[in-house]
Structure 1
Amino acid sequence: MLPRQELLNGIENRDCIARIIDLAEQALKTWEITQTEFLSPPEIAEAQGIFRRLTEIQALSWGGYPQAERQRMAIARSEIPLDSSHVEIAAIDISGNFLFDTATHRDFLGSLLGTGIVREKTGDLIVLGERGAQAIVIPELVEYLEMNLTQVRTVPVKVQPIDLSELKVREPKKKAMTTVEASLRLDAIASAGFGMSRSKMVNLIDGGDVRVNWKEVKQASIAVKTGDLIAIRGKGRLEIGEVSVTKKQRYRVELTRYN
């Protein structure tokens, strides 16, 4: 048995992580590969932290393409080979003419969930503008959605399965930069990386729009470190690279911005 209570200490997404521990125990007992539903980035981060503490069990997450935010996780004993092919996912194309009635990510997601499925059964949604969208789902849902997803907003749509290789994923733009700051405070580093004023960054943090390693933070004064990922809703992500100290005792920080 895994040390459940010890593993759950300090965990925010307790119900989700408890279910993942159940799947891990099942994988240990049966020698079979188990799978989660789709997980959000904060859930993935906490689950990965759990598995790093365990030697007898391993986990691998995959969401259909390298930058996927929502992913399923396959779990197996450490002795069993595990790769992305063990994560069962499928993709669908949702096609329609959205030229005169533009649909957003929220519209497509609302129509998907309106068929009666739950969010945990769906992965990322890729909006293609006037042509429709693509969605990643569990394989068992493909036929159901072909029959039941017939309209998004006022637009009739047709759903058909596609290969994961047909996903039209936009590669994120990447920009490397260096900043020198008096401290490693979140508001200082993030304002430099995202090119905005410190006061505006503080407002975004206070408003709950900023996440560090996928967890919402509301303290502008927390210190960031190498490897941290700062995400701002609607503005992209910032990865903290190498941190060094200058002769004047200031911090030189390597940053990579994705948007």
Structure 2
Amino acid sequence: MNIYQHFRPEEREYIDQVLDWKENVELHYTSRLTDFLDPREQHILKTIVGENGDIKYSLFGGTNDGERKRAFLYPDYLTPNEDDFQISLFEIHYPKKFVTIEHRQVLGTLMSLGVKRGKFGDILINDDQIQFFTAQEISDYIKNNIEAIGRAGIKLVEKPLNYALAPKELWGEMDVTVSSLRLDTVISSVFHVSRQKSLTFIQQGAVKVNWTAIENPSFHCDEGDLISVRGHGRMKILQIEGKTKKEKWRIVVGRQK
């Protein structure tokens, strides 16, 4: 079976990586920990590793409800625990009375360190309280290199994982029927806008799929995709249930409230 035919051409490199992880665990009877994966990458890994083989996987991002998660691949005789995921939690202390810090500023500061995105997990914001997850292997580097976010001087305080903020985002699950899995069609149906409006959003660069701007309206959406439309929020494709008798697609989506 050609595994690649089930995924997008641009995902081939990542698929090869997952296959390599799986093979190493099988050959050496040892575990493998990945960087933080986005929902689509998690879906691909689940599909390739499967549920019934000798190799198992667990996903954890610092909280069970996290969006970005590290994967732990292991032989079936092992039982993983939270420590195996090697995740650090930082809280940002800053002069809250005088400045406001936004999600994009935190991410921009982290990315400016020259560390790849996969080393950072979710950024949690609840009113003026801000936290973020990182891979444990870079926690010292983070502590030693971040003293400000924007113009605000800050202090990073490492916290146990059980101090993590509860995710504030609420996702409402809904069933949707779409004529195709094209990006413009899915946006139109889920966000209740006209097809022309969804096309405009895409062409103007206002649409991201899995954190990457997509300007092709015929882009094929798939299970695990996280789609954001500037000014309209985000949605996840949780499940593609198949076609109806009228050849339309039934999908289950999570819509950010």
- 3-state DSSP of counterpart to 2:36: coil
What is the match of residue 204 of structure 1?
A: 201
Does the 8 Å CA contact 2:31/2:74 hold for their aligned counterparts? yes
Alignment partner of 1:258 is 2:255: yes
What is the match of residue 59 of structure 2?
A: 61
What is the match of residue 140 of structure 1?
A: 137
CA distance in 1, matches of 2:73, 2:109: 31
- 3-state DSSP of counterpart to 1:218: coil
Q: 1:195 aligns with which of 162, 184, 192?
A: 192
Letter in 2 for 1:91: L
CA distance in 2, matches of 1:8, 1:84: 32
Normalising to structure 2: TM-score of the pair?
0.74
Q: 1:158 aligns with which of 144, 152, 155?
A: 155
Alignment partner of 1:231 is 2:227: yes
- 3-state DSSP of counterpart to 1:102: coil
The Cα shift of 1:150 comes to 1.3
- Counterparts of 1:78-157 in structure 2, within 5 Å, are 78-82=76-80, 86-128=84-126, 130-131=128-129, 133-157=130-154
Q: Could you tell me the percent identity over the aligned residues? A: 19
Alignment partner of 1:169 is 2:163: no
Q: 1:32 aligns with which of 22, 30, 34?
A: 30
Supply the RMSD in Å over aligned alpha carbons.
Answer: 3.8
Letter in 2 for 1:161: E
1:89-136: CA deviation from partner (whole Å, max 9, x where unpaired): 1211111024444333232123234445433321112234544x2110
1:30-86: CA deviation from partner (whole Å, max 9, x where unpaired): 322111122233333332232129833222222122342322111112343346553
CA distance in 1, matches of 2:93, 2:30: 38
Letter in 2 for 1:40: D
Pick closer, same or farther for the CA change 1:185–1:125 going to 2, 3 Å: closer
CA distance in 1, matches of 2:152, 2:44: 39
Question: 197-206 vs 237-246, which deviates more?
Answer: 237-246
Letter in 1 for 2:10: E
Q: 1:22 aligns with which of 16, 20, 26?
A: 20
CA distance in 1, matches of 2:226, 2:60: 21
Count, aligned residues: 248
> Unaligned 5+ residue runs, structure 1?
none
Does the 8 Å CA contact 1:8/1:18 hold for their aligned counterparts? no
- 3-state DSSP of counterpart to 2:79: coil
CA distance in 1, matches of 2:40, 2:244: 31
> Unaligned 5+ residue runs, structure 2?
none
Pick closer, same or farther for the CA change 1:178–1:47 going to 2, 3 Å: closer
- 3-state DSSP of counterpart to 2:165: coil
What is the match of residue 43 of structure 2?
A: 45
